[in-house]
Structure 1
Amino acid sequence: MSDTPPDHLSNDPKSPFFNEPALERGIGIRFNGVEKNNVEEYCISESWVRVAVGKTVDRHGKPLTMRLKGKVEAYFKEAAAD
């Protein structure tokens, strides 16, 4: 796996953008220069993140999310295993 995180990544297993190997390495997200820990999904090329809104969940138990636009920087927290 390369040292560049995917352009679009989601932590929902039902999403087509779910990538388990990338999530196992740990992804860090900087949004507008601020470290975010509650990101559910992001897209670097379209400059948006989807963040959880408090502890509120929908009827399926998934967190309610809000899409924010701005500068997105993604990085791996752990180095690639050779």
Structure 2
Amino acid sequence: MSDTDNTSANTTPSHNTRPALPDRLCIDPRSPHHVAAVFEHDVGIRFNGKERVDVTEYCISEGWVRVPSGKTLDRKGQPLLIKLKGAVEVFYK
């Protein structure tokens, strides 16, 4: 009887424990838009119909993403970011 209890506990889908994806999210922990609970799962971002893996920050409602501009760094040693506007879709992988 305990074996069936363990299997039912193990078959609960993990997607129920995922937090809702916010409208705006940033990977930088210093940002006010950083949500650490979201980064415990794989997040995918589709920008203008193509999946991107280099997105640093996004905003769905305003329709933009920030991506690094090559190897250029700012004066604090962080990657220099550019903002691209278009259709943004966010999903869990």
- Greater CA radius of gyration, 1 or 2? 2
Answer yes or no: is 1:5 the counterpart of 2:21: yes
Cα distance in 2, alignment partners of residues 11 and 27 from structure 1: 11
In the TM superposition, 1:3-82 aligns within 5 A as 4-77=20-93
- Higher RCO (CA < 8 A, seq sep 6+): 1
- The count of residues paired between Structure 1 and Structure 2 equals 77
* Structure (1/2) with the larger strand percentage: 1
Q: Deviations over 1:34-80 (max 9, x none)?
A: 11111010000110001111122112121110001100000112xxx
Q: Secondary structure of 1:23's partner?
A: helix
* Structure (1/2) with the larger helix percentage: 2
RMSD, aligned CA: 1.4
TM-score by length of 1: 0.85
